[in-house]
Structure 1
Amino acid sequence: MLCESFELTLKEAFRFCDGLKIPSYRYESKIIYPETTQGVNFMLDKMGYFLDKTAFMIKGENLEYLNAVLASKMSFWYLKQICSTLQADGLSMSKIFVEKLPVIETHKIDSTLLKEIESLASEILESKRQKTQELEQRLDSLIYQLYGLNQNEINIIESELQSRERERERERENRGN
């Protein structure tokens, strides 16, 4: 998201320069997980989040399937058995422990079962995203109220952000073509 925002800002700043070429990039999804945690917290990132020094990432293919396996109760139980513990409930999720998880390779799985796992995992992620959007909208509303913004001021903020989001969508579509 930061790269897209920067790219849009550059294009706007140099809109008068004919032929200006901004390098394009292709984002690849990844699974993110924290180095230390009290549960199993794997997240499939399709948006391009940046990581800090206390998180790890997994790149590759079949990430929906892999994320579903990693986020399962079975994986949590297994990691609790092999990970270093921190205080009462904390786990040190170093790469060496996560790599030991017995993940069945996709070519060894019945295709119907694999599709069902991936479909359900995607449905869960979408459901969480929808719920998050509702909560974010409610939070924005409370922040607007906190700052005493009137409807006209709110409309200005919302309109500008929607315009930028539409521009980002067009840019993504253009990159895909």
Structure 2
Amino acid sequence: MECVGEILTNKKQDSTSDTKALESRLDSLIYKAYGLNENEINLIETELSTRERERERTEIIDKIYRLYTQFYDSAYNFTMEAQVAYQGKILYPCIMANESCFVYEEKGFFAPAPANLITGKECDMKYLTGFLNSSFVYFLMREFYMGGGIEGELKTNNLLKLPIPKITKANQTIVNQIIALVDEILQNKAKDKNFNSLEFESKIDNLVYKLYNLDEKEIKIIKGAARRDIFINKEL
């Protein structure tokens, strides 16, 4: 019983190495008391070793899970705080061969295929959504910023070259009207995914023309190019 007393003393002092040695001595005494042979002892030791490894594995998994939970909670809280700063993002595909496709998204979804995203303040994102989906901007992208190997490919470095009008006091009214129309489209699409938004898109087109101070002749060229693209795509 002296061996048991030493084990208990070492456990109180948290002396792991000494305790293990003493536990091994105690095991030997028990085996001897029961008159076990080498094969029987090996069988017991193997079973105990397996159980010990399983226990350690369970402890490791439990520790990893607790660390993951702590990390997830902190990441979730950070995300919730970040949403105060921005309420949505714009997703757009790498290739837009037939039409402009910049999607305003605010529910936390991500694209399952290769795509890019733009983040920022809610009002800026809605302004850009309307602006980037306009006929004139798609005309600019097709003429000057797309391609380079793949038809309709829009590289991020080319998008950054796009001359986007900054929001100023002079054009704030136009910008607000674009945002309001984007809100109308989003609200109607939320109610009915098949909602026809062409009327609203046409109004946004006209507002973008005003942003660039385009005259009737220039607008006619852009509309003519848009009709030509539609005709070509239908033929293809």
* Separation in 1, partners of 2:148, 2:135: 18
2:141 counterpart letter in structure 1:
L
Percent identity between matched residues is 22
Identify which range, 53-62 or 33-42, moves more after superposition: 53-62
2:111 pairs with 1:48: no
How far apart are 1:44 and its partner, in Å?
A: 0.6
Unmatched 5+ stretches in structure 1: 1-20, 135-177
* Separation in 1, partners of 2:188, 2:135: 19
Q: Output the TM-score relative to the length of structure 1.
A: 0.55
2:99 pairs with 1:37: no
1:17 — aligned with what? none
**Aligned residue among 81, 84, 106 for 2:147:** 84
* Separation in 2, partners of 1:109, 1:129: 32
How far apart are 1:37 and its partner, in Å?
A: 2.0
2:172 pairs with 1:111: yes
Greater relative contact order: 1 or 2 (C-alpha under 8 angstroms, separation 6 or more)?
A: 1
How far apart are 1:110 and its partner, in Å?
A: 2.8
1:99 counterpart letter in structure 2:
L
The aligned runs of 1:84-163 (5 Å cut-off) are 84=147, 90-107=151-168, 109-132=170-193
SS of structure 1 residue aligned to 2:152: strand
* Separation in 1, partners of 2:114, 2:93: 6
Classify 1:49/1:109 alpha carbon distance in 2 versus 1 (closer, same or farther; 3 Å).
Answer: farther
How far apart are 1:34 and its partner, in Å?
A: 0.2
How far apart are 1:131 and its partner, in Å?
A: 1.6
Q: Please tell me the root mean square deviation across aligned C-alpha atoms, in Å.
A: 2.5
How far apart are 1:130 and its partner, in Å?
A: 1.8
User: More strand per residue: 1 or 2?
Assistant: 1
1:69 — aligned with what? 131
How far apart are 1:81 and its partner, in Å?
A: 0.7
Q: Output the TM-score relative to the length of structure 2.
A: 0.43
* Separation in 1, partners of 2:194, 2:134: 24
User: More helix per residue: 1 or 2?
Assistant: 2
- Answer with 1 or 2: which has the greater Rg: 2
CA deviations on 1:62-87 (whole Å, 9 max, x unpaired) are: 11111111010011100101210667
* Separation in 2, partners of 1:36, 1:130: 28
How far apart are 1:112 and its partner, in Å?
A: 2.1
